[in-house]
Amino acid sequence: MVVEHIDRDIHFEKLFQKLDGSIKDKVKKQIIKIIENPEIGKPMRYTRKGTREVYVKPYRLSYLYLEEENKIIFLDLYHKDEQ
């Protein structure tokens, strides 16, 4: 199932713009995979409950999938060591 509505948090947008070309391409590929299958990411727990993450070496891409609305919101992109 392909998601119809996609949104980006302003924080995510700023971080994405700062990435170099090769990492940006990897992130774009993961975004396409997420759009095609939103449940691909690992469900988070505790304070991040309700969000999902995928690993884009060396970053983690955090997003929210709202199944009822068929919507994805990309929230954050952070270095794996900054957890």
* pLDDT tens-place string over residues 66-82: 999 999 999 999 987 76
Task: Tell me what percent of the residues of the chain surpass a pLDDT of 90.
Answer: 89
Q: 36 is in which domain, residue-wise?
A: 8-82
Q: Is 2 within the bounds of a domain? A: no
Tokens of 53: 């993450």
Query: Parallel, antiparallel, or unpaired for β 42-43 and 51-56?
Result: antiparallel
CATH number of the domain bearing residue 59:
3.30.2310.20
How many structural domains comprise the chain? 1
Q: Is 22 within the bounds of a domain? A: yes
Q: Is 1 within the bounds of a domain? A: no
Q: How many CA atoms lie within 13 A of 72 on its CB side?
A: 24
> What pLDDT digit, counting tens, does each position of 29-38 carry?
999 999 999 9
Q: Is 70 within the bounds of a domain? A: yes
Q: Is 3 within the bounds of a domain? A: no
